[in-house]
Structure 1
Amino acid sequence: MATPQPTQPPRAPWYARLATSAGRPAVLGATLIMSMPGEYHVARFAGWSDPWAYGMPFSLSAYAGIAAVIAATRPKGARGRFSATAGAAFAIALALAAQVVAHLVNTGHMNRDQAWLIAVTSMVPPAVLAHLLHLAATPTPVVTPLTSVDTPAAEPVVERIEQAPVLPPLPKQPPAAPQLPPPVKEQQPAPIVYRDPRCAAVRPLYDGGARPGTAAMRNALIAAGHSRVGDSTIRGVIRAEIEEHEPALAAYPPALPTTRTA
C-alpha cells in the first residue's frame, strides 16, 4: 500500500505576500520616525542641546531593536541570551517611557524640571553603550543547521516460506578449544582542528593544570609569530574556542599572572 504524501498548504495571494514583505519595513520606518520627536524632547528636558539631543532616538529605539534581534537569534542556553533579553525589555520600557513623558510634558500634565527625570535620562547613553559592548564581547555560538532527506516509501515485501531439506544428524565432534577475544586496541582521540589557527599557540599553556591569563596568552601568540590582538579577542574568541572543544579546561584554576609584553 502506498504511503499518502502530505498535502502542501494553500499559498497566500500576491497582495497578502506583498503586504507582509513590504509592510514590515514600512511600519518599522514609520514607528522610528514617530518615536524620534518624543525621545528628542526628553533629551532636551534633561539638558542636552542641539545637535547632541538628536542622538537620543538612536540610544533608545535603535538600541531596543538591536537587543531584541540579538535575543531572538541566539539559541536557548547560549551565553549572552539572557542579558540580551533583559536589555531588550529594558530598552523597550525606556522607549515607551520616553514617549509617555514627552507627551505628558508637552500637554502640560507633567513638570519637565524634575530631578529624577533628568537623572534617569542622563544615564541612558552610557548604559546603552556598556550593554552593547557586553553583547559584542560575548561570543556567538556557531549553530550547524540540520538537514533532512526524505526517503521514499519502501515497496511492500512479500515473504516466501521455503521448507528446508532434512539432513542426517552430524557425528559427535570433540569440543572446540575456547577462543580468546582479540586484544582491545586503545583508540587514540582524533586531533582537534581549530577554526582559528591561533588557538594552537595558546593550547599548550593549559598543560600545566591551570587556566592561563590574558597576558600569558598574548605572550604565547607573539612568540608564535602572530600579530598583537586585543584582550576581548584573546578571551572571547581564542580561549572560548579552545574551551568549546575541551569543556574541562574551563574548570582549571587560574594561573598566576605574568608580565605583560610591551
Structure 2
Amino acid sequence: MSTAARVDTPSTGVEAASTPVDVENAITVTAAVLTVVLTAVAFWLSYEHLQEVAAAHGMASAVARSWAWPATVDLFIVIGELLILRASLAHKVDWWAIGLVTAGDGASIALNVAGVGKDANALNYVVAAVPPVAALLAFGALMRQVHAYLARRASTPITTPLTGVDRPSTPVDISVDHPPAAPATPPAVTADPVPDRPALPVGVKAVSTPVDTDPVSVDARSTAVDLCMPVVYTNRVDQLVRALYGTDFVQPSTARMTMAMAAAGLGASESTARTARGRVKTREPYLADFPGSLRVEAVG
C-alpha cells in the first residue's frame, strides 16, 4: 500500500489593506460631495438674490437680463479660483487671479447686503451676506481638494520591492512506494606507486639548494566606496528634466525641455523649464559637467 508525505511551504506574509485606509477614502469622498453641494447651494442663493436686486432696480420688465446680470459678478469668483488653481499647480502666484476673486466676492457681498434696503433689521443683512461668503469659502475648499488630487496624480512615488515574501503554500505529494536506491559506491581509485629515488653513487653527497623565503611585501590599499541615497524628485517637471540628462547625455536646452513638457501635458513655460533645470543641477552638481546641447539658442 502506497503512502504519501505532505509538505507545506511557508505561507505569504502579505496581508490585505487595513480598514483605516477605506475609512479615510470614504471620508474624503463624502467631504468632496458635501463641498460640491454647499458650493452649488450658496451660489444659487447668492445668484437669485442678485437677480431680485437687478429686477428691483431697472430690470423688472427684462426678465432674461435680470437673470443674466448676476453672472457679471459671480463668474469673476469662479474664473479667479480656477486661475489660482492653475498657478498653484505651476508653483506660481497669480496676483491677477487673486484680484479677480477679491473683486468678485467683494462686489457680491456688497450687492447682496445693499439689496436688503436701508431700514431693514440687522439680521436681514446677515442673512443676505451669508450666501456669498459661503460660496467663496466652499468654492475655495473645492479648489483645494482638486489641487490635492492633481498633486497626488502628478507625483510619481517610488516603491521598493518587498523582501522576504514567499510563494503561497502549495501542498506537494511525494510518493514513497519505492524508496530511491542508495547511490552506488564509486570504485576505489588506486594511486600509482611512486618510483623510488635512484641511489646516489658512493662518495657523492646530496647538496641542498637554499631557497629565499623572504615574503614579498604587499601594499594593501583600501578603496573608498561612496554610498549615497538616490535622489528622488517629487515634482513632475523636475523628473522630466532629470530624465533628459539620462536620455541625451547633454545639457538639455530650453527648447528641448519645453517640447518634452508640452508632450507630457505640463505646459510649455520656458521659465518653469529653466527653474526646474536649476533645481536639478543644485541637487546633483555633477550634471553641470555634461556637455552643452549641439543646438545653439539665444536664450538657454
Q: Report TM bin, short chain.
A: 0.3 to 0.5
TM-score normalised over the length of structure 2 = 0.36
**Higher RCO structure (Cα 8 Å, ≥6 apart):** 2
Which is higher, the Rg of structure 1 or of structure 2? 2
TM-score normalised over the length of structure 1 = 0.40
